[in-house]
């Protein structure tokens, strides 16, 4: 009688199939979880981007704060249009988590949140889109890039009161911001940078990214950046916040969240002051 052949395979631990989670889904999991039960947060994917690698969705969430006094203020928050700048995307997730705990911080607002404006680039960790474009040079120039067309229709349809874009710069040692649009933008950027500079230093150079700057504020900008439709008035406030990308990412995220919360509270003050005049 021959012995039963031993089968080492029987004693091998079965390998569990590893759950493959895309970087985008990993980022958004906490928001999807909140959206499942929160009365304030709605998950509303904003259209699909098709290419030879398949189809990606433009993530979009709406956060509705408690009612304020007057017209609901519509603010668009945009991150990761450069796919290799993840701090802004993570900061928007943190902001929503914070607002969900304390919705009064968003009283009077409807926030339109686009945490990943360049989904292919975010998945691949590249600045450019999968079609090889710097999407932040393609706005309002009849671009054929699907991400840009989707975002332009959002900017057109929602006629935001304010537009805030988050970026990270590997050539800067400190925080800074670009301002344009409504003149009251100036009233928002200074307190925002002040709040954020509790966490990371401000870039004090007279020249930043090739533009003249004072106290970390630049009043010019590149052509083709994500902004309000050119002919449509009245102009919203437009702010681009930049963190130094070589700083620890957690600090960049905290600096963004501090700046964004400050802008929300300052803008509400400006609007209610104007309404009382
Ligand atoms: Zn950027």
The CATH number of the domain holding residue 60 is 3.40.630.10
The predicted model gives 237-245 an average pLDDT of: 97
Q: Sign (positive/negative) of CA torsion 167, 171, 176, 177? A: negative
> pLDDT averaged over the chain?
91
Query: pTM of the full predicted structure?
Result: 0.91
Q: How far is the CA of 81 from the centre of ligand 1 (A)?
A: 7
Nearest to 200, CA basis, from 147, 244, 136? 244
Strand, coil or helix: 263:
helix
Q: How far is the CA of 172 from the centre of ligand 1 (A)?
A: 12
Q: For residue 11, is it within any domain?
A: no
Q: How far is the CA of 51 from the centre of ligand 1 (A)?
A: 22
Q: How far is the CA of 241 from the centre of ligand 1 (A)?
A: 10
Q: For residue 9, is it within any domain?
A: no
Tell me what pLDDT residue 24 has: 96
Q: How far is the CA of 245 from the centre of ligand 1 (A)?
A: 10
Q: How far is the CA of 166 from the centre of ligand 1 (A)?
A: 7
Q: Residue 150 has which token pair?
A: 């989707």
Tell me what pLDDT residue 19 has: 59
Q: For residue 13, is it within any domain?
A: no
Report whether pLDDT(184) > 60: yes
Q: For residue 224, is it within any domain?
A: yes
Residues 24/116, Cβ–Cβ less than 8 Å: yes
Report whether pLDDT(13) > 70: no
Q: For residue 91, is it within any domain?
A: yes
* Whole-number Å distance between alpha carbons of 123 and 143: 22
Distance (Å) of CA 98 to CA 140, 177, 185: 33, 23, 24
Q: How far is the CA of 34 from the centre of ligand 1 (A)?
A: 28
Instruction: Quickly list DSSP for 79-113.
Output: E-SSTT-HHHHHHHHHHHHHHHH-GGGGTTEEEEE
- Domain enclosing residue 267, as ranges: 22-276
Q: In which band, very low, low, confident or very high, does the pLDDT at 232 lie, cut at 50, 70 and 90?
A: low
Q: Ramachandran region of residue 195, left (φ > 0), alpha (ψ -120 to 50) or beta?
A: alpha
In what helix (H) or strand (E) does residue 41 lie, and over which residues does it extend?
A: strand 41-43
Q: For residue 3, is it within any domain?
A: no
Residue 120 dihedral angles phi and psi, to the nearest 5°: -65, -45
CA neighbours within 13 Å on the CB side: how many for 65?
28
Q: For residue 258, is it within any domain?
A: yes
Q: For residue 113, is it within any domain?
A: yes
Q: How far is the CA of 209 from the centre of ligand 1 (A)?
A: 11
Q: How far is the CA of 39 from the centre of ligand 1 (A)?
A: 32
Q: What is the total count of domains within the chain?
A: 1
Tell me what pLDDT residue 1 has: 45
Q: How far is the CA of 268 from the centre of ligand 1 (A)?
A: 27
Place of tokens 């705990």: 101
Q: Which pLDDT tens digit goes with each residue over 137-170?
A: 999 999 999 999 999 999 999 999 999 999 999 9
User: Could you tell me which residues come within 8 angstroms of residue 7 by beta carbon, excluding any fewer than 6 positions away?
Assistant: none
Q: How far is the CA of 210 from the centre of ligand 1 (A)?
A: 15
- What is the CA 48 to chain-centroid distance, rounded? 18
């Amino acid at each position: 009688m021959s012995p039963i052949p031993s089968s080492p395979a029987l004693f091998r631990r079965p390998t569990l199939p590893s759950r493959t989670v895309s970087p985008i889904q990993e980022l958004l999991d906490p928001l999807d979880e909140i959206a499942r039960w929160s009365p304030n947060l709605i998950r509303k994917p904003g259209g699909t981007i098709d290419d030879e690698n398949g189809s990606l969705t433009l993530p979009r969430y709406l956060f509705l704060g408690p009612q304020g006094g007057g017209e609901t203020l519509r603010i668009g928050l945009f991150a990761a249009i450069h796919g290799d700048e993840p701090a802004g995307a993570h900061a928007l997730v943190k902001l929503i988590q914070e607002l969900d705990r304390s919705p009064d911080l968003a009283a009077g607002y409807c926030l339109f949140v686009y945490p990943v404006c360049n989904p292919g680039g975010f998945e691949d960790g590249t600045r450019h889109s999968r079609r090889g474009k710097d999407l932040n040079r393609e706005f309002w120039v009849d671009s054929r890039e699907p991400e840009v067309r989707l975002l332009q229709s959002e900017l057109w349809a929602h006629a935001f009161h304010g537009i805030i874009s988050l970026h990270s710069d590997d050539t800067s040692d400190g925080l800074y911001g670009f301002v344009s649009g409504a003149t009251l933008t100036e009233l928002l950027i200074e307190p925002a940078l002040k709040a954020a500079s509790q966490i990371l230093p401000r870039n004090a150079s007279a020249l930043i990214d090739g533009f003249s700057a004072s106290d970390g504020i630049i009043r010019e900008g590149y052509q083709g950046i994500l902004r309000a439709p050119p002919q449509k008035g009245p102009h919203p406030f437009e702010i681009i916040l930049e963190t130094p990308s070589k700083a620890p990412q957690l600090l960049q995220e905290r600096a963004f969240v501090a700046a964004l919360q400050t802008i929300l509270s300052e803008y509400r003050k400006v609007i209610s002051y104007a309404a009382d005049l």
